[in-house]
Structure 1
């Protein structure tokens, strides 16, 4: 994924689209937009920095999981097996991007009729109604680039709904793809690249 920060207007439509697509409970947002203030007074400006999971090539969250519930899938995304996750939260501590959240079982049922009746088909599994101690309740959750959408040839929900057209998604291994060309742009950089995590989300300054 490539995100052009000059096009991001900070509308949070990516956050809303992600919550609607993945039906995440209160306190869990896979896709947030951070605000960064750059420069020194009086020459300052605010930059919106969307932060999904970085889908690292060297993910520290995978290394610390004691039950191998977090792993790198064949398509390059980092996913969590909710049925295997024991909720120890080591991966939350290990992630330098703050991209993971714990599902405490909170609900929007008071605000939204029928919210608990259906779970999103996250990771290709339709889990039915939410309940105590039933995955993903009691486990760690994160962005997976909407793998259930990718399986049908669709873009992640955040890319599809970005009103500023600031997000690009594609195959970095294809030199002719739009994302490969954007990554070669001198404006391209990655967050906390010095940590050696090799994040797969690039930003354009």
Structure 2
């Protein structure tokens, strides 16, 4: 059958520390574009952390008041302890590597296609920058290169001089302007693992497959593995009662799954 890769993210364990975001930048030569570009919605993170805040029942009541506000009435938040200390849920969001990917069908040059191992792959030298894929992606995880971020004096974030460029990962291409880019599920790491095992003449053991984000996660919230291996950790997590996929109703069939966050706020 071969390998089929899946990512599993436990929202109970995620603390929103951002280590996965930094690891992703470092592993995949993702440029740092600076705050002025981010203000123009030109951020380049392949992996973002969404934050969801809630403040219990009072939050719902306040929302009701806000919805029923009169034309000339003003709104101010009632002082309430739950607003001072809201609950927060962190959700890392990367390319979901959909098995029925909306981005693949709209690309006029087939620059994005589905690999046999489950990854949604980008072929950068085919991409002509139509950005149809970004418009069609329901998860908003694709990034467009507006400029040459490397060797460009306008963006001096250590990709200009020889010393800074020595830090770049030689296994990952540095993208040029005018192309779309996104999470690759660290295909260079998975291929190295497969080739190392092949050279040693042995099967790949569970836990050997890793991505930059899963390797960097301190709490073990991100688990990466082969779903076709029935004994793998990621395969067992798929059968967990808490498991769901983001925006499942769209029928995109993502290869990234989440374990729902459960909070018990009742008194013991």
| Residue 182 (structure 1) aligned with residue 222 (structure 2) | no
Deviating more after overlay: 138-147 vs 175-184: 175-184
Pairing of 1:54-65 with structure 2 (within 5 A): 54-65=96-107
Unaligned runs of 5+ in 2: 1-6, 34-42, 60-81, 194-208, 261-268
Q: Deviations over 1:23-58 (max 9, x none)?
A: 112221111111012444349521000001100000
Q: Which has the larger radius of gyration?
A: 2
Deviating more after overlay: 57-66 vs 151-160: 151-160
1:142 alignment partner, one of 182, 186, 191: 182
Per the alignment, residue 119 of structure 2 pairs with 77
C-alpha displacement of 1:176: 1.3
Indicate the RMSD between aligned Cα atoms, in angstroms. 2.0
Greater per-residue strand proportion: 1
Pairing of 1:29-40 with structure 2 (within 5 A): 29-38=45-54, 39-40=56-57
2:13 alignment partner, one of 7, 12, 15: 7
2:26/2:168 contact within 8 Å kept: no
When the two structures are aligned, how many residues end up with a matched partner? 196
Unaligned runs of 5+ in 1: 128-134
3-state SS of paired residue (1:170): strand
C-alpha displacement of 1:136: 3.3
Per the alignment, residue 170 of structure 1 pairs with 225
Pairing of 1:10-159 with structure 2 (within 5 A): 10-25=16-31, 26=33, 27-38=43-54, 39-40=56-57, 41=59, 42=82, 44-107=86-149, 109-112=155-158, 114=161, 115=164, 120-121=169-170, 126=173, 135-153=175-193, 154-159=209-214
Q: Deviations over 1:138-158 (max 9, x none)?
A: 100000111011111151100
C-alpha displacement of 1:107: 2.8
Normalising by structure 1, report the TM-score: 0.88
